[in-house]
Structure formats: structure tokens, C-alpha cells
Structure 1
Amino acid sequence: MKAVQFRQMKDGTKEEYEFLEQHEIEYVAGLPDRIISALRNLEHTLSGYQVTRLEHSLQTATRAEADGADEEIILAALIHDIGDDLSPYNHSQLAASILRPYVRPEVTWIITQHGLFQNYYYAHFFGGNPNERDYLKDHPWYQSCVDFCEKWDQASFDPDYPTKPLKYFEPLVRKIFSRPPFSEQYVGAQTMGRSAVDIAISGVGV
């Protein structure tokens, strides 16, 4: 079989869907390469800073590693702005969606919220509320996101900081994005319908 015969999903057969599933498995195996390629493309996206978006991402990950962060947080630091190109006004959620099947909910939540938390540093210049993030103060991962932004993200626009190259982080990208998606070992238990991860991302409970 080179392609399925159905033109509407409701007409597909078991054999056709098994065929498609195998294609998907083979395609997903190339995800780490596509992530690395997308990171390279950050070299040519949003400008105006003293570092490129790629250099900012690498510097954020380098700082996280230097502070003893675990591998999932380092990876999150590396790809936290990967959505800038296609999703400039909700890039945080795009990056979090990429991470979600492979890391613990805390990491996904931090990346989901980091755009909001970064507003603390400049929203007032545009008439915004820099403390808008405070509605999440009772969330158990609130301080983790504050720390992510303060120690690593907002600090990583320094062209003189000794930043590690993308090649250094490639094994980590391949390691985590080759995990089985939504594995209970990494992501935790899922519930029927709305998952614990969805609840965590929404900021309501854990």
C-alpha cells in the first residue's frame, strides 16, 4: 500500500489506519532533527537585540545548566522561544505544546507562563500591568517560573556571556524528544478526558 484509498476519515479501514500509524511512527522519529533545524532558524528571526534569538536561547540554556538545573529544564530553556517565528503573540504556549508529551507538567507550566511572567520587566512602559502574573501567586510552580525568568530568560541578552553552541545541546534534544510520548514515567499519570497536564497548564490546581 502506497497510500490509503479513503477520502473521508470515516471510510477508513483498520488496515489503512495501521498503515498510517506506521508512517506516523517513522515520521515522528525525525522530530529531534526538526527541533534542531527550527532552533537554527532562530538565527534569522526577531532582531533588535545585541544577540540573535538563537544566541538568546542557547544562553538561557547555558545559564540554566550552570545553575544546576535538571535536563528537562535545560531543554525547556533551550526551546522556550522556538515559537517566535510562527506564533509571536503566544509563543510560550507553542513551545509548551512541543514539550508537553515529553517532560513533567511543572516544566510545561513554566514554559506556558513564561511570556506572562516576563511582562514584569517591561509591561509598564506600554501602560500594562507588570504584576499581572500575581493572580497565579498561589500556584505551586509560581516561584519556579519567577526564577526561570529572573535567573535565565531575562538575563540572557549578553553578547559577552560564554554561551555554549547548539551542537553541545543536540544530544539532549535527541534524548528527550526520543522518549515515548505521554509516558507515565516522564509526564505522569493521565486522567480520562482532561489530563492532569491540561489542568496544570491552565493554572487551575495541579
Structure 2
Amino acid sequence: MAQNVSFTQMKDGTKADYELLANSEHAYVALTADRVLDELRRQGQASIEGYKITRLDHGLQAATRAQRDGADIDWIVGALLHDIGDGLAPQNHDRFSAEVIRPYVRWDVAWVVEHHGIFQMIYYAHHYGWDENARDKFRDHPCFDSCAAFCERWDQASFDPAYETETLAHFEPMLREVFARKAYDSAVIREGFVSPLTS
């Protein structure tokens, strides 16, 4: 039988309670990759209507393009998961998606995923009467060019049902490797370093 904490209000918790929760959280965090994979599979079943492919197919296609361009594992997983937030946070999916990967990938990859939504507007915003150049407010940011290239090469181009795309099983080992990293490891995050999209 599972052991539970003694409190009904956090402020009443004991050291033993919080040690119990720390152990439970460790086991829960270890299954993050499984939950992410489940969400990707769900996106293959239920997606935004109107597109020619599912959100899962879109992520797989973006990741396939990234890998074929010679991108490293952080960029590939970033491309795979850049829209993982669509299901729960369609109005801010880019920021939601970035928070999923932020503890495990380089800071520039997380920044690009966080801002790809506004960068993508260059392709369609004028059709709605919006500012297609809204991304220009980030013109001086060190990741501006990376985000523009990410959107041009891997995101906006990945809605093609005829494109030969790798499967989720192909990317699963990469995804598991990334989510097995120690969260917020400074050697991984490399704050301030801007990596090339391709080797």
C-alpha cells in the first residue's frame, strides 16, 4: 500500500513528509519521457483540423528535416517537440513547449522553441491583418538568426504529406536520452552559447 503524507495543508508538512514526496517525485520525473511520448501519440490521433497532416506528423517531419540537415540531438528533439504544447495551450503553445524541454536542452534551443510562434507570423500574419514583422522586436537577440532559420528550414516547411518522414520510434532513443539528463545541468544548458543549427 502506498504511503501518503500526514498533512492536508503544505505548511503542516513534516521533514518525513517532504522526504517521502522527494522520493515519489524522483520516480515520477524519471517517467517524463514516457509522458511526452504519450502526448506525441495523442497528437497523432487528435489534432487541429484543416491541416493535411497531424501535429505528430508535423513534429516528426520537422525533426526529420533537422536530422537530415545535420543538426545535433538538442535541435532534433527541439524540432520534434516544438509544438508539444498545442493540445493544452493552443494560445501560447510555443512557451508551453519550451518549458517542457527547457531543463534538458541548451538555452538557445529552448529560446527558439519559446519564440517560434512570433517568428512564424512572417509567413501568415498579413492574412489576418496582424504584424508579420512582430519578430523584429527580437532583432538584437543573439538567437534571432537561429529562430528565423529554424522556422524557415524545419517548421514552416513541414506540412507536406508526401515528405518521407522518420517514425516516432526512430526519434524515441534521442528523446529518452535528452529527458534522462540531469535537469538544469549548466554543462548542458550552456547559458549564453549560441550553437549552430547544423554541423
TM-score (norm 1): 0.90
Counterpart in the other structure of 1:200: none
Stretches of structure 2 that go unaligned for 5 or more consecutive residues are 193-199
Partner SS for 2:86: coil
CA–CA distance in structure 2, aligned partners of residues 143 and 88 of structure 1? 25
Counterpart in the other structure of 2:14: 13
CA–CA distance in structure 2, aligned partners of residues 145 and 184 of structure 1? 22
Counterpart in the other structure of 2:32: 31
Q: Percent identity over the alignment?
A: 49
Stretches of structure 1 that go unaligned for 5 or more consecutive residues are 190-195, 197-206
User: Does structure 1 residue 183 correspond to structure 2 residue 185?
Assistant: yes
CA–CA distance in structure 1, aligned partners of residues 163 and 104 of structure 2? 29
2:48 to 43, 46, 54: 46
CA–CA distance in structure 1, aligned partners of residues 105 and 169 of structure 2? 21
Counterpart in the other structure of 1:132: 134
Counterpart in the other structure of 1:86: 88
2:159 to 157, 160, 176: 157
Deviations 1:62-82 (A, max 9, x none): 000111111101001001111
Asked if the contact 1:47–1:53 (Cα under 8 Å) also holds between the matched residues in 2, the reply is no
CA–CA distance in structure 2, aligned partners of residues 150 and 40 of structure 1? 25
User: Does structure 1 residue 4 correspond to structure 2 residue 5?
Assistant: yes
CA–CA distance in structure 2, aligned partners of residues 88 and 62 of structure 1? 23
Larger deviation: 168-177 or 1-10? Answer: 1-10
Partner SS for 1:55: helix
Q: Which amino acid aligns with 2:42?
A: N
How many pairs were matched up? 190
Deviations 1:96-141 (A, max 9, x none): 0011111111011000000000011000001001001011111111
CA–CA distance in structure 2, aligned partners of residues 188 and 136 of structure 1? 20
Following superposition, which runs of at least 4 residues in structure 1 exceed 6 angstroms of deviation? none
TM-score (norm 2): 0.93
Shift of 1:188: 3.7
Partner SS for 1:22: helix
